[in-house]
Amino acid sequence: MTPSDVPVRSDRRAQNGSPLVSYQVIARKWRPQSFDEVSGQAHVTTALRNAIRQDRLPHALLLTGPRGVGKTTLARLIARCLNCEKGPTDEPCGSCTACREITEGRSTDVQEIDAASRTGVDDIREVIESIRYAAAPGKHRIFIIDEVHMLSTSAFNALLKTLEEPPPRSLFIFATTNPEKIPFTVLSRCQRHDLRRIALASVSERLAEICRSEGIDISPGALAAIAREGDGSMRDAQTLLDQIVAYGGQTITDETLAEVLDLVDRHVLREIVEACIDGDPKKALEAVAKATSGGSEARRIADALLELLRDLVVLRVAPDAEGLFEGPDEERASLIGLAGRTEPARLRRMFRALVREIEDLSWAPRPTAVLEMALIRLATLPAGDDVGQLLARLDRLERQLAGGAFPTSGGGRSGGGGSNASRPPVSGRGPRRRSESPAPEPDTARVAPAVEPPPPAGTRKPDRGENAAPSPEAPRLGGDAPAQARFDRLRTKALELDRSRFASLESAELIDIEGRKIRLRVPAAFHAERLRARRDELAKLAEQLFGQPTRIEVEIQPPQADRLELSESREQTRRRRQAALNSEEVNLAIEILEAKIVEIRPLGENP
């Protein structure tokens, strides 16, 4: 075997005897060594420092929070505070033997356990056995269990007694990202401190301090981008910084940052949003093509756009608020100018529309096509800033529908009792406010009501302009549900109770529900007689379902000619209602007001 064929060991040493792989990553090198260096967790560090000063530190601590926010760091700091030669103190020296041993992970009095790999009851029994041995004079026995939620149920049960009554000068510190998985019996024995995600400004400030000390040249915008990618985790942000420095050296440019992190160029994102605000779908598609050609994924582009739209909405409604926008002042000023080019309502609709479209990206076979369709929708959204114009268009729609298009009162519905002559069309009017009473004029879309009996002598009918007393008619039977749905509910319930007694309901057809009266139609006199014989039972059942006294009326199916006329009338009504649904004005109102259609009712019909 030649010398070149001899395998080279990976732990080969350099000429000075030190290992070749001696680099310490930024996250470890810059781990906080005091409470003052911990970023973004003042609510926890203050409580812990005061507890140490006042000798009120509990025997069991639970530190919770997302990854990379300082849980294990705080646990080691507490251990150093208690076992420092100058301690207990909230400011450990960091230079004594005890502090150095804890920092280097070789202290015999401080034991760290990874519960993710040591989950069983036998592992916890080892801890219970070792805790019986006293610590060195003046020291504490400290057990740090990371990811404690990974312990098995039997392991938690084995720990309960020791956790409740630990030996003197012993301390348990638990760290977890999922406290909800810890049994309540364990939670009740611990003092809990919840660590928060670290603010972008705090992460950027810490990264800037590291870069100054390490001689790394990087712009504030790049630091903010790294912090944003860290998503509240200091460790993740420091790891990304390490990766970028390894790729680009001591000078980090925006291009280097985009290549390493697969970031979408902020200038391209701004071009896309500008095109959508200006209503230029072509420009928006060209900008997104530029982003995808650079290797960015459609989902990543959509997420970045969503974040940018959120910032625009916030800066549009609260440009001077502190803490709502995390970014450089130059970018804030630029985005405030962009947000001022349209109304907040439109920006918010763009945000909501993009959220709905993003839901399709996860399963779409061609996510880029879904993103393109989403941008076309954003660029073609109506402005929505002229409510008066919208009301005018709705007024025109109401005038068109009120111009004699709906069936007259004499056709198709029994009980009208009037002639078939059409009434004059109702004059156009704008949409009524909810607080206003219905207009007194008759409407062509309404069926002629029965003639009201004259008021008793000596009584005066209140004027329309007065605050008239409420109508004696009860509220709408069954609430806001459609009439057919209410009747179907009544029929289903009756058949469930006794199908043989109410079998004729299966052939019954609902005419309408007016106030407290339900009018039914059956095809033969036999069915009518059976239902009339059980009218009282049906009325009681309806009262139980709808909470109001109810009257049941049964009619027999009209002759063939009348049925044809009724069918034609219904088909005509159905077509005209469908035409209303397809109306441009109705769809515009739905889009601008972010509404949905609940019910379609002819003009003037009382709810």
Residue pLDDT, tens place only, 237-266: 999 999 999 988 888 888 888 888 878 888
- Note the pLDDT of residue 405: 45
CB 542 within 8 A of CB 388: no
Cα 81 off chain centre by: 42
Query: Which whole number is the average pLDDT over 390-408?
Result: 61
Would residue 500 count as lying in a domain?
yes
Is residue 499 within 8 A of residue 460, CB to CB? The reply is no
Contact 520, 490 (CB under 8 A): no
pLDDT at residue 523, as a whole number: 83
In a domain, 439, yes or no: no
Is residue 421's pLDDT more than 80?
Answer: no
> Quick one: CA dihedral 382, 383, 388, 389, positive or negative?
negative
Amino acid at 400: Q
Q: Is residue 512 part of a domain?
A: yes
Is 473 contained in some domain? no
Are residue 491 and residue 581 in the same domain, yes or no? no
Q: What is residue 217's DSSP assignment?
A: B
Q: Where are the beta strands (DSSP E) in 188-308?
A: 191-194
Give the per-residue pLDDT at 285: 94
pLDDT of residue 418: 39
| CATH number of 529's domain | 3.30.300.180
Q: Are residues 304 and 168 in the same domain?
A: no
Are 65 and 145 members of one domain? yes
For the segment 207-227, the average pLDDT, to the nearest whole number, is 91
Residues 545 and 530 placed together within one structural domain of the fold: yes
Residue 406 lies in a domain: no
> In angstroms, rounded to a whole number, what is the distance separating the alpha carbons of residues 167 and 162?
8
Question: pLDDT, tens digit, for every residue of 125-135?
Answer: 888 888 877 77
Amino acid in position 28: R
**DSSP label of 569:** H
Residue environment code for 384-396, b if the CB has 16+ CB neighbours within 10 A, otherwise e: beeeeebeebbee
User: pLDDT tens, 324-357?
Assistant: 887 777 888 889 999 888 888 889 989 988 988 8
How confident is the model over 266-308, as pLDDT tens digits?
888 999 999 999 999 999 999 999 888 877 888 889 999 999 9
Phi-psi region of 253 (alpha: psi -120 to 50; beta: other; left: phi over 0): beta
**Counted domains in the chain:** 5
H-run or E-run covering 308: helix 298-317
| Mean pLDDT, range 395-399, rounded to an integer | 71
Residue 61 sits in the same domain as residue 105: yes
Q: Which residue has the higher pLDDT, 461 or 138?
A: 138
364 and 496 both lie in a single domain: no
The answer, yes or no, to whether residue 359 has pLDDT greater than 70, is yes
Tell which residue, 282, 200, 263, has the closest CA to residue 237: 200
Per-residue pLDDT tens for 31-90? 999 999 999 999 999 999 999 999 999 999 999 999 999 999 999 999 999 999 887 899
Rg of the chain taking only CA atoms, in angstroms: 38
Q: Both 248 and 354 in a single domain? A: no
606: Cβ contacts below 8 Å, ≥ 6 apart: 438
Task: Choose the final residue of a domain: 145, 174, 194.
Answer: 194
Domain-located, residue 147: yes
The residue written with tokens 């470890």 in the block is 28
Q: Is residue 119 part of a domain?
A: yes
7 band by pLDDT with thresholds 50, 70 and 90: very low
Residue 77's domain spans which residues? 26-194
The helix/strand/coil state of 522 is: strand
Q: Are residues 314 and 215 in the same domain?
A: no
In angstroms, the first-to-last Cα distance of the chain is 97
Are 140 and 227 part of one and the same domain?
no
Q: Identify the DSSP state of 466.
A: S
Among 194, 215, 238, where does a domain finish?
194
How confident is the model over 98-127, as a mean pLDDT?
Answer: 88
- Chain mean position to CA 73: 32
Calpha distance 465→460 (Å, rounded):
14
Distance CA 59, CA 575 (A): 76
Decide: 19 and 13 in contact? Cβ < 8 Å: yes
Is 301 within 8 Å of 335 (Cβ atoms)?
Answer: no
Instruction: Please report the pLDDT score of residue 431 as a whole number.
Output: 41
DSSP for residue 472: S
Report how far Cα 254 is from the mean position of its chain's Cα atoms: 32
| 174, 175, 176, 182: CA torsion to nearest 10 | 10
pLDDT of 413 higher than 50? no
Residues 165 and 36 in one domain: yes
Please report the pLDDT score of residue 362 as a whole number: 73
Half-sphere exposure of 109 (CA within 13 A, CB side): 25
Give the long-range contacts of residues 157-165, CB within 8 A, separation 24 or more.
Answer: 157/121, 158/121, 158/124, 158/125, 158/128, 159/124, 159/127, 159/128, 159/186, 160/185, 160/186, 160/189, 162/127, 162/128, 162/131, 163/60, 163/189, 163/190, 164/189
Is a pLDDT exceeding 80 seen at residue 323?
no
Q: Indicate the DSSP class of residue 196.
A: P
Residue 26, classified by CB atoms within 10 Å of its CB into exposed (0-12), middle (13-18) or buried (19+), is: buried
Average pLDDT, the chain: 78
Looking at residue 383, its pLDDT comes to: 63
173-182 residue pLDDT tens? 999 999 999 9
Chosen domain end from 331, 358, 380: 380
Within-domain flag for 82: yes
Predicted pLDDT at 508: 87
The CATH number of the domain holding residue 300 is 1.20.272.10
Q: In the structure, what pLDDT confidence band is assigned to residue 426 with cuts at 50, 70 and 90?
A: very low
Q: Please, are residues 22 and 51 in contact by the beta-carbon 8 Å criterion? A: no
Is residue 409's pLDDT more than 50? no
What would the pLDDT profile of 521-580 be if each residue is shown by its tens digit? 888 887 788 888 888 888 888 888 888 888 888 888 765 555 566 566 667 666 766 776
* 550 and 582 Cβ atoms separated by less than 8 Å: no
Statement: residue 452 has pLDDT above 50: no
**Residue predicted with more confidence, 30 or 266:** 30
Top-ranked range on mean pLDDT: pick from 52-61, 113-122, 487-496, 572-581: 52-61
Indicate if 211 and 347 belong to the same structural domain.
no
Is the pLDDT reported for residue 101 higher than 80? yes
189 lies in the same domain as 207: no
